[in-house]
């Protein structure tokens, strides 16, 4: 297939290298990635059957096609278009209803200042990191329940990394009409290495393990393969995808700080209609912060804007706590089968816990279900 190849409008050039793996647990790979010379995109889909795959691949292909190569706003508009196309497809096809995806992207653009810049955008919890020897900096912020709780001081990074509800997103593409797209302009520096990845990487490897591999400064192919292999070896509970973008051409830079202040919380549909300034910033937060774990559980089911991308959940079966395997036919809608009945009565739980269990608690796996039940029991006593 011949695509018209756009000439980059900037003096920035990337070298892109990527690797992906289905992992050891999942049946299909619902991550997707792609690149053109001035843009790379990575997405992590959710939704039963084909849904996650379709959503992620639409996110990548639409963003690559629609990016007009102009500006940070152009990148945000391409992501917003991808959102609309995924949502339309989801509403038109019963089998795909409720599908969604994360997205993260990095492009070369002409910045607000008129100088060439890197543009980064994200929705969900796929990440963009910048690597310099001895240093790994997460550029993006995760739009997930646990990330919100970390920002609120409710959880530590370590607790968040192991939390059974870490797979709950607060934003995703394909779910609502106007998701907020976070976007940043960064200064391009020759030799910079950026890492885009799905949560299958950082849920298996912590930042220092990732850094240790990056610090070997091997060629990008060896590095992406090593990162993916390590994540699979460490458990491979999820699909894992890693994309490296090396900045191989960059303008001689003006003296300026490395990052510009992040431009956050732009409403995708109206973003940049009036330029970058003066737009209201929106950010959704769980309503029950500050009341500990059961507050967290309650927040999940206050739940507008929380997207479960797991097909397991803890719920109630004939009065007992049970773990179900479900086919998510839509966000938080399941067609479940009982996988494990615990013999623990829901009457042994406190009332808010009981309500939460009756409403079902999404988890990423059978193991996480067991872990969550243990936590429920411990906090009940």
Which tokens belong to 80? 């917003």
The tally of CA atoms less than 13 A away on the side-chain side of residue 208 is 2
* Smallest distance from Mn ion to CB 102, Å: 8
Please say which residue, 204 or 246, places its beta carbon nearer to Mn ion.
Answer: 204
Q: Packing angle between helix 366-380 and helix 292-302, nearest 10 degrees?
A: 130
Instruction: Confirm if 220 and 303 have CB atoms less than 8 A apart.
Output: no
Please say which residue, 21 or 97, places its beta carbon nearer to Mn ion.
Answer: 21
* Smallest distance from Mn ion to CB 239, Å: 6
Residue 30 neighbours by CB under 8 Å, 6+ apart: 44, 45, 46, 47, 52, 53, 55, 56, 239
| Cα Rg of the chain (Å, integer) | 21
**Helix-strand-coil split of the chain, %, nearest 5:** 30, 30, 40
Please say which residue, 199 or 246, places its beta carbon nearer to Mn ion.
Answer: 199
Please say which residue, 62 or 126, places its beta carbon nearer to Mn ion.
Answer: 126
Please say which residue, 243 or 250, places its beta carbon nearer to Mn ion.
Answer: 243
Residue 240 neighbours by CB under 8 Å, 6+ apart: 20, 21, 23, 31, 197, 198, 200, 201, 204, 228, 231, 232
Interface contacts to Mn ion, rule CB under 5 A: 44, 198-200, 238
* Smallest distance from Mn ion to CB 167, Å: 7
* Smallest distance from Mn ion to CB 269, Å: 26
* Smallest distance from Mn ion to CB 140, Å: 15
Please say which residue, 44 or 368, places its beta carbon nearer to Mn ion.
Answer: 44
User: Given the structure tokens 């309650």, which residue do they identify?
Assistant: 298
Instruction: Confirm if 141 and 85 have CB atoms less than 8 A apart.
Output: no
Please say which residue, 160 or 357, places its beta carbon nearer to Mn ion.
Answer: 160
Which tokens belong to 149? 């709780």
* Smallest distance from Mn ion to CB 70, Å: 31
Please say which residue, 28 or 281, places its beta carbon nearer to Mn ion.
Answer: 28
* Smallest distance from Mn ion to CB 142, Å: 12
* Smallest distance from Mn ion to CB 251, Å: 35
- Report the length, in residues, of the chain: 381
Which tokens belong to 264? 């956050």
Spatial CA neighbour of 39 closest among 4, 87, 74: 74
Please say which residue, 131 or 166, places its beta carbon nearer to Mn ion.
Answer: 166
* Smallest distance from Mn ion to CB 98, Å: 16
Please say which residue, 34 or 200, places its beta carbon nearer to Mn ion.
Answer: 200
Distance CA 288, CA 296 (A): 7
**DSSP 3-state of 301:** helix
* Smallest distance from Mn ion to CB 379, Å: 27
Instruction: Confirm if 155 and 146 have CB atoms less than 8 A apart.
Output: yes
User: Given the structure tokens 């889909």, which residue do they identify?
Assistant: 45
Distance CA 93, CA 79 (A): 21
């Amino acid at each position: 297939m011949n695509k018209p190849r756009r000439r980059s409008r900037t003096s920035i050039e990337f070298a892109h290298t990527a690797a992906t793996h289905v992992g050891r647990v999942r049946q299909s790979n619902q991550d997707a990635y792609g690149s053109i010379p001035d843009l790379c995109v990575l997405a992590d889909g959710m939704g039963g059957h084909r849904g996650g795959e379709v959503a992620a691949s639409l996110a990548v292909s639409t963003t690559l096609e629609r990016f007009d190569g102009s500006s940070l706003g152009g990148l945000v508009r391409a992501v917003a278009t991808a959102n609309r196309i995924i949502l339309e497809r989801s509403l038109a096809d019963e089998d795909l209803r409720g599908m969604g995806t994360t997205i993260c992207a990095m492009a070369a653009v002409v910045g607000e200042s008129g100088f060439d810049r890197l543009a980064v955008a994200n929705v969900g919890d796929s990440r963009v990191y910048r690597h310099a020897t001895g240093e790994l900096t997460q550029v993006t912020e995760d739009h997930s329940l646990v990330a919100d709780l970390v920002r609120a001081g409710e959880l530590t990074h370590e607790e968040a990394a192991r939390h059974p509800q870490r797979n709950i997103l607060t934003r995703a593409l394909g779910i609502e009409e106007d998701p907020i797209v976070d976007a940043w302009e960064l200064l391009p520096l020759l030799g910079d290495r950026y890492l885009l990845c799905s949560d299958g990487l950082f849920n298996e490897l912590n930042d220092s393990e990732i850094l240790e591999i990056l610090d070997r400064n091997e060629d990008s192919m060896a590095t992406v393969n090593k990162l993916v292999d390590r994540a699979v070896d460490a458990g491979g509970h999820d699909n894992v995808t890693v994309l490296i973008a090396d900045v191989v051409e960059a303008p001689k830079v003006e003296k300026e700080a490395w990052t510009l202040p992040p431009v956050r919380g732009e409403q995708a549909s109206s973003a940049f209609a009036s330029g970058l300034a003066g737009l209201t910033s929106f950010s959704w937060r769980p309503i029950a912060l500050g009341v500990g774990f059961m507050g967290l559980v309650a927040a999940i089911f206050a739940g507008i804007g929380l997207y479960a991308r797991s097909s397991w959940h803890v719920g109630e079966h004939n009065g007992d706590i049970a773990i179900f395997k479900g086919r998510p036919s839509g966000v938080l809608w399941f067609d479940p089968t009982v996988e494990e009945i615990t013999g623990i009565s829901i009457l042994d739980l406190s009332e808010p816990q009981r309500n939460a269990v009756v409403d079902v608690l999404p988890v990423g796996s059978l193991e996480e279900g067991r872990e969550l039940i243990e936590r429920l029991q411990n906090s009940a006593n």
